[in-house]
């Protein structure tokens, strides 16, 4: 058990992502230990008391981190027995932007996980597209596991006043959600046009840590503006994609050899 605790503590070392709550730091450390194989499906996690004793977090923070993992479908709690790793999370349905292909031309499953959500007061490339006024813009950050092979970091911006369910909904409900589907289903606002630009950039230390790559890694940054019609911009998204051997589908009209029709 001490070896397992050291793995968790290793994941906690280093500067935290700005704005990431303590429970989310511990949740991410536990998830990293699970995804790296230190806790396999069916394995029992340390107890709440053990985690509180061996990490710098309070019992309440530990309990909240475990609840988040339960809500994510990563672990299950059995009364009187403990907390156990499940047999995998459900992938996102019909992803639009993280469409990587396996060796047979099929889409790889993607597993998004919320990192943070906050109001944005500063201005940036999203501002001109989304008519930013003070702090009406909400930013939602997620790490997206591509078939457990590598991670992509996503920053998603939208007007929180226009789309309150995305701005205020419990984070656990947004973890694996397809935001495009929510916008279409709940606001009758189907995304019909997507403009994408691509550039190479050196990732910041927070993103490097979040997607588990070396500090200073240079990768691909994809900037996306999605619209309903040609004039009404719905969201702005930025994806940080590390070097990977998988092909990324960029065109809506692209037909991979084995895509379902």
Most confident of 65-79, 171-185, 223-237: 223-237
> For 179-207, what is the mean pLDDT?
89
Express as a percent the part of the chain with pLDDT over 70. 88
The larger pLDDT score, comparing residue 40 to residue 123, is at 123
Say whether pLDDT at 258 is over 50.
no
Instruction: Write the CA distances from 77 to 45, 64, 73, 95, 174, integer angstroms.
Output: 10, 13, 10, 30, 21
Kindly list the structural domains of the chain, giving each domain's residue range(s) and its CATH number in brackets, ordered by start. Answer: 2-85 (1.10.10.10), 100-248 (3.40.1410.10)
**How many C-beta atoms lie closer than 10 Å to residue 86's C-beta?**
15
The DSSP secondary-structure symbol of 41 reads T
pTM of the shown model: 0.68
Mean pLDDT score across all residues of the chain: 84
Please give the C-alpha separations between residue 215 and each of 113, 149, 207, in angstroms, as whole numbers. Answer: 21, 19, 9
The yes-or-no verdict on residue 86 having pLDDT over 50 is yes
For range 141-150, the mean pLDDT: 87
């Amino acid at each position: 058990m001490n070896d397992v605790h050291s793995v968790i503590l290793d994941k906690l070392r280093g500067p935290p992502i700005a704005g990431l709550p303590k429970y989310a730091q511990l949740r991410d450390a536990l998830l990293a230990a699970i995804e790296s194989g230190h806790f396999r499906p069916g394995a029992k996690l340390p107890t709440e008391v053990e985690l509180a004793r061996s990490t710098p977090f309070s019992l309440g923070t530990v309990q909240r981190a475990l609840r988040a993992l339960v809500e994510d479908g990563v672990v299950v709690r059995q009364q009187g027995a403990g907390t156990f790793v499940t047999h995998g999370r459900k992938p996102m349905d019909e992803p639009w932007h993280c469409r990587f292909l396996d060796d047979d031309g099929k889409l790889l499953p993607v597993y998004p996980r919320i990192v943070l959500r906050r109001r944005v007061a500063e201005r940036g490339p999203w501002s001109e597209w989304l008519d930013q006024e003070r702090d009406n813009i909400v930013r939602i950050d997620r790490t997206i596991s591509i078939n457990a092979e590598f991670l992509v970091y996503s920053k998603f911006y939208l007007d929180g006043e226009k789309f309150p369910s995305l701005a205020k909904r419990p984070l656990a409900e947004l973890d694996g959600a397809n935001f495009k589907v929510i916008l279409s289903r709940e606001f009758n606002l189907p995304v019909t046009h997507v403009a994408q630009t691509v550039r190479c950039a050196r990732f910041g230390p927070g993103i490097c840590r979040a997607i588990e790559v070396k500090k200073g890694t240079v990768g691909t940054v994809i900037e996306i503006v999605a619209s309903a019609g040609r004039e009404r911009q719905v969201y702005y998204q930025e994806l940080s994609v590390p070097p990977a051997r998988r092909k990324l589908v960029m065109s809506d009209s692209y037909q991979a050899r084995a895509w379902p029709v």
